[in-house]
Homo-oligomer: A and B are copies of this chain.
Amino acid sequence: MTTLNVDLGERSYPIYINGNILGDADLYLRHIKGNKVLIVTDDNVAPLYLATLLEALPSFDCQHLALPAGEAHKNLETVNKIYDVLMQSHFDRNCTIIALGGGVVGDITGFAAATYQRGVAFVQVPTTLLAQVDSSVGGKTGVNHPLGKNMIGAFHQPACVIADMNTLDTLPQRELIAGMAEVIKYGLIDDSEFFEWIDQHMSDLLGLNKDALANAVERSCTNKSRIVAADERESGQRALLNLGHTFGHAIETAQGYGNWLHGEAIGAGMCLAAKYSHDLGLMDEQQADRVCRTIEKAGLPSTPPTNMTADRCLELMSHDKKVRDKKLTLVLMRGIGKSFLCNDFDQKQLSKTLTLAFD
């Protein structure tokens, strides 16, 4: 088993990566606080893995709650359902909440854990590639506001992350592909060697080769952990993790949450970032094309949705969390593995690039 340590001082925690560890009782015993445990999952994941998880926790007083699946339910109302169960079952501060599922379950559950009685322990058991490589690392939790994604949230680190590769066997192909967007992102940000490796092993990854997947998860988490450890509260370099996300979030919001998967929107968003970087003369054409081809190779969209205009995209981007005093920060690329933050970019060229891309 691979164990990565996310180094955040007294909030440090391990990520366990292996096949068949979702039911490993010892891992839970090491990290669960108190006697009461609430497992939050969704109605897709519950029939697949809830029983296995419950069997691994015989000595705890366990409750469980299956939320309706999907990004459309990632809102305060759903968080309230978690509070209701916690209150009705008399959960005190010395309890643990386990998030069993994908990124949506992890984000909602993490926010409930961050805010129930001003913060209780939680454990992440991510069952999608996206959640394993991205959303279970870094402590960002939160839900959507009707006007913007992840606008309501908190930083709250898990006690541990248990990433079981075998859960990917039951993941719909479309979601596996969506997760690849974040894997590719970790190559693009600052690890061109990893980008090459992903490109070469794409068929192994999409064919569910467990060694390849474990390597992809490990390398993505390592890269993310390094960036998060250097800037836990996102005052600077952590924003690199948003490569493709400003464009991607605008696409997701315009389509209505859940119609385009997050990873799909990020795929198209990274292509837009590459195109814009090229149009600004930062990245040569060959490299920008290479980015889009690898994204297509994963089966991800490399162009934005046709039912959306450049103006709508720009308007939604102005709501982005990375806007400070009306100035937006974008993640641009000087090449594959050479991303950087930019807040004095050419606004006119951005309109041009987007008009071309959206028309």
List the interface of chain A (C-beta within 8 A of B).
34-36, 76, 80, 83-84, 87-88, 90, 92-94, 114-119, 140, 142, 145-148, 151-155, 233-234, 318-319, 321-326
Which of these, B116, B146, B319, B324, contacts A152 with CB under 8 Å?
A: B116
The CA-CA distance from A80 to B77 in the complex, in Å, is 11
The CA-CA distance from A297 to B309 in the complex, in Å, is 69
Contacts of A80 in B (CB 8 A): 76
Give min CB distance, A139 to chain B, whole Å: 9
Q: Once the chains bind, are A152 and B92 in contact (CB under 8 Å)?
A: no
If A88-B147, A118-B155 touch, whether A94 touches B142 (CB-CB below 8 Å) is no
If A76-B80, A118-B142 touch, whether A93 touches B324 (CB-CB below 8 Å) is yes
Q: Once the chains bind, are B34 and A115 in contact (CB under 8 Å)?
A: no
Q: Once the chains bind, are B115 and A152 in contact (CB under 8 Å)?
A: yes
Most buried by B among A83, A118, A321: A118
Contacts of A114 in B (CB 8 A): 154
> Residue on B with the closest CB to A36?
B325
The CA-CA distance from A76 to B84 in the complex, in Å, is 13
The CA-CA distance from A89 to B117 in the complex, in Å, is 30
The CA-CA distance from A155 to B120 in the complex, in Å, is 12
Q: Once the chains bind, are B87 and A151 in contact (CB under 8 Å)?
A: yes
Q: Once the chains bind, are A154 and B154 in contact (CB under 8 Å)?
A: yes
Q: Once the chains bind, are B153 and A324 in contact (CB under 8 Å)?
A: no
Which of these, B35, B84, B155, contacts A119 with CB under 8 Å?
A: B155
Q: Once the chains bind, are B154 and A321 in contact (CB under 8 Å)?
A: no
Show 23 A/B contacts (Cβ-Cβ < 8 Å), sorted by A: A34-B324, A76-B80, A83-B151, A87-B145, A87-B146, A87-B147, A87-B148, A88-B147, A90-B319, A92-B323, A92-B324, A92-B326, A93-B321, A93-B322, A114-B154, A115-B115, A115-B153, A116-B152, A117-B151, A117-B321, A118-B154, A118-B234, A154-B154
Most buried by B among A93, A114, A119: A93
The CA-CA distance from A147 to B83 in the complex, in Å, is 10
Q: Once the chains bind, are A325 and B34 in contact (CB under 8 Å)?
A: yes
